[in-house]
Amino acid sequence: MKRKLLAIGTIVAVMFGMAGCGSTKEEVVQTQEEKVISFVDAQGEYHELTVDSDVEENSYTAENFVLDGEFMTYEDDYYTSSVGVDVSKFQGDINWKKVAAAGIEYAFIRVGYRGYSEGKLNLDEQFKKNIKGAIKAGLDVGVYFFSQAISEEEAREEAEFVMDAVEGYDLQLPIVYDPESILNEEARTDDVSAEQFTKNTVAFCKAIEEGGYDAMVYANLMWQAYKLELGELTDIPMWYADYESKPQTPYHFEYWQYTSTGSVDGISGDVDLDIRLIKK
């Protein structure tokens, strides 16, 4: 899809005479240009996003994202890339040796989740098996937590839950805060505001960093547009999700989850695939 970019701005010039000085002074007042982009979501619906100029922009060259079979690659003068997966109990038993042999270099493993109705914290049933298998296969490993926190207190509770679960494991990659919407069902987060989601994200990531780990947030463009105040999250790296052929976001990201229907030897059925952008 070609991204539509609308520039909306005004320049006001005020001309006035200076009495008694025989000259004219020109004062120019220029408002900041406001940019609005049109994007498509995972269901094929179109939306608009007003770009926050205070957030670091996406400086990647779209044409440099190249799909080589199942794996996305990127190369330019400043960045190279690596490919990975993110998995949970839904992928079942994984043969991590085969996954590594297929060319996968890293994995984000779901450590747990909060229930979207009662809010109970749960360890992912495959977490221990997955993290041990991925580490043994030589992959770099990070984890993510599926959040349904409705307050900063609950977000900090989730962070403590995650850090307890990963104690003793060597993580090379961040611990990721993954707040998501529940489609077609009522959820405890339905009435949470963007301001509160943002505060929850800050609370989780701050707790993770104070615990000695790197933190990151996961978001698609709907969340970037309507659910998070990105200007408050500029110090937190972004794992971006978008299943279009090129990333639509106007904002910088470090990882891009580019498909939910990938295929990798050693994993039965569909799996999420990710590209990591690495500074040279």
| Residues facing 86 on adjacent strands | 108, 272
pLDDT in tens, 198-240: 999 999 999 999 999 999 999 999 999 999 999 999 999 999 9
- pLDDT at residue 248 is higher than 90: yes
The C-alpha atoms of residue 234 and residue 86 are separated, in whole angstroms, by 24
Nearest to 53 by CA among 37, 32, 38, 39: 32
The C-alpha atoms of residue 77 and residue 83 are separated, in whole angstroms, by 19
Tell me the pLDDT band of 5, cut-offs 50, 70 and 90. Answer: very low
Question: CA 226: distance to chain centroid?
Answer: 14
- Output 11 or 65, whichever has higher pLDDT: 65
Amino acid at residue number 259 = T
- pLDDT at residue 22 is higher than 90: no
Q: Assess contact for 234 and 66: CB atoms under 8 A.
A: no
pLDDT in tens, 89-143: 999 999 999 999 999 999 999 999 999 999 999 999 999 999 999 999 999 999 9
**Residue 24: enclosing H or E segment and its boundaries?**
strand 23-30
The C-alpha atoms of residue 239 and residue 8 are separated, in whole angstroms, by 29
The C-alpha atoms of residue 229 and residue 242 are separated, in whole angstroms, by 19
DSSP 8-state code for residue 232: G
Q: What is the dihedral of CA 73, 126, 92, 66, to 10 degrees?
A: -10
Q: In 3-state terms, what secondary structure has residue 253?
A: coil
The angle formed by the CA atoms of residues 252, 175 and 126, to the nearest 5 degrees, is 125
Tell me the pLDDT band of 33, cut-offs 50, 70 and 90. Answer: confident
What are the backbone dihedrals phi and psi of residue 8, each rounded to the nearest 5 degrees, phi first? -120, 115
The C-alpha atoms of residue 232 and residue 67 are separated, in whole angstroms, by 33
Supply the mean pLDDT for the chain: 91
pLDDT in tens, 144-162: 999 999 999 999 999 999 9
Q: pTM score > 0.85 for this model? A: yes
Nearest to 43 by CA among 220, 187, 178: 220
- pLDDT at residue 173 is higher than 90: yes
pLDDT at 1: 39
DSSP 8-state code for residue 69: T
- pLDDT at residue 26 is higher than 50: no
What are the backbone dihedrals phi and psi of residue 139, each rounded to the nearest 5 degrees, phi first? -80, 150
Under CATH, which number does the domain 56-279 receive? 3.20.20.80
The C-alpha atoms of residue 90 and residue 71 are separated, in whole angstroms, by 21
Q: What percent of the chain has pLDDT over 70?
A: 89
Q: Assess contact for 274 and 240: CB atoms under 8 A.
A: no
pLDDT at 145: 99
pLDDT at 32: 60
